[in-house]
Structure 1
Amino acid sequence: MNNGVVMPMLGLGVFQAPPEATAAAVQDALRVGYRLVDTAAAYANEREVGEALRRSGLARDDLFIETKVWISDYGYDATLHAFDKSAGKLGVDRLDLLLLHQPLTSRFDLTVGAYKALEKLLADGKVRAIGVSNFMPQVLRRLLTETSVVPAVNQIEVHPYFQQNELQRLHVELGIVTQAWSPMGGITSYYRGERSTFDDPTLQRIAREHGKSAAQVMLRWHLQHGRAVIPKSTKPERIVENLEVFDFELSPGQLAQIDALDTGVRSGPEPDSVTLENYGRQIPDA
């Protein structure tokens, strides 16, 4: 990343993983070789992630743990406390990456205060890197005018049907890593989804050509374009499958065919629609 910290390109996401299934999924992932786990205060499963980390027996320095501050905890002091809440649930003294979960454009003063708290946590060594999530170009540029540290990561919706190329070009310009949530387009299957990436004929054909699944092809597409990915699954066989993407390579022509699938249509919520009135929720203490 732009501060020299090394982050695995592929990790396990636990968005919408029920708490009762989260610990087992993380344990399975760590057992087969994952070393990055992405969670968030708003997912309500940080405690279970922490339980799995402890059970794994792996050294803390071998793990990369990232989580996100929810909008209800924005503002300088509130965000400093949000770190304590997340670190306490995860059972760690230091986080590898801490992100602001949404830009909260309706109260950008709170967003700036929250990011300045991240800068303080970074300076104090409580986090190794800081970043944002779902920040669009104009909002990202605005943040940079009011803060000092360029985010190491912007975690955004990216998959073959929604590629956000303008934002990704800005990331390259600024030295920000693009980390894709819903990297296989799973969100297209259940949210505003009439078309699912998993059934796409182009992806299915490329998958057959490599003896792989459409999911593996999508993950490989991200990696060859230099994006980090955090596919989510609680099924042991899928967790293994998602890791088996380093033994084949897509051709330039195949990459271009997948690039051409972009619809420009977001499946997740519009970032500007995420307000305290619509999405505020209390995040419990550790």
Structure 2
Amino acid sequence: MFYFQREGNMPALLRQPVKRCNRLAYLCGDCREFCSKKIYNQAGGERPSRGTQTGVTARARREVCAPGWLDGLLDAVASETLPMNSYPVDERQAHVTSKSTPLWQTVFIWTAANALGIAASMPLSALISLVKPLTGLAGSAVVIGIPVGLMQWLALRRTARVSPLWIFTVFFGLVAVGWLAGLISFHDDEGILELSSLYALAGLIIGLLQWSLLFRHFRRSFWYPLSSALGLGLALWAVLVTNLVSVNGSLALALGILIYSVATGVALAHLPPASSPEPAPDQPA
């Protein structure tokens, strides 16, 4: 990989492409040599002597190194292959804006992840019961929390390299809430408001555990625990108020998953990456 020694003497417009070409040298393959030569020639530097152009025709070299093609090639490859932290600080926000996922797509993927996690917990529960019957809160938390946490983590990996510890956040959150419910002698026959409050507390604890892994990757992530509490509390409230549990259990479960997923998915979709700079304030005239 070439490291240009004369970058400080280059025109300002050429410094950025040089940095990109450096990072893309292992990606460009055969174009690495003439990519670097093109920038060196424009900057008035010496051509690198090492490397070959094997397998690249003269026409291909002219096309890639023609004015306008070089920047386009580097932009296209960088936008698809480079991690966000490899971009210069002044370009990260533009990249985030141009490559951001639409809100509906983020919510759809997040909802699908939660639904798949709940669906996976059912055969997992049956499989574990063949070995040892599940009893107590810990067993239920494992069956529900681990699959849901795993699917959420896989969905998040599309946009951020969140720690695998995310997989266990739902499990530990459910255990913590069950422990707290036992301390205050909470029962299943409580009123709608009390049960909804308990689920909101569960959502808050789960959200705080997940926030501890999110804040490294997103700014303003403090909104996520609030959305988690709102989503889980509102989900149970809607299920109880509509009395769907006695009508159709599957429909009640689907409604709960949808409300929770929309609340947390919208929050996730509006969290700007930590690598993107804050928008500059308007300058006074």
- Is TM more than 0.5 here? no
Into which bin does the TM-score normalised by the smaller protein fall? under 0.3
Structure with greater strand share of residues: 1
Larger Cα-atom Rg: 2
1 or 2 for the larger relative contact order (CA 8 Å, sep ≥6)?
A: 1
TM-score with structure 2 setting the length: 0.23
Structure with greater helix share of residues: 2
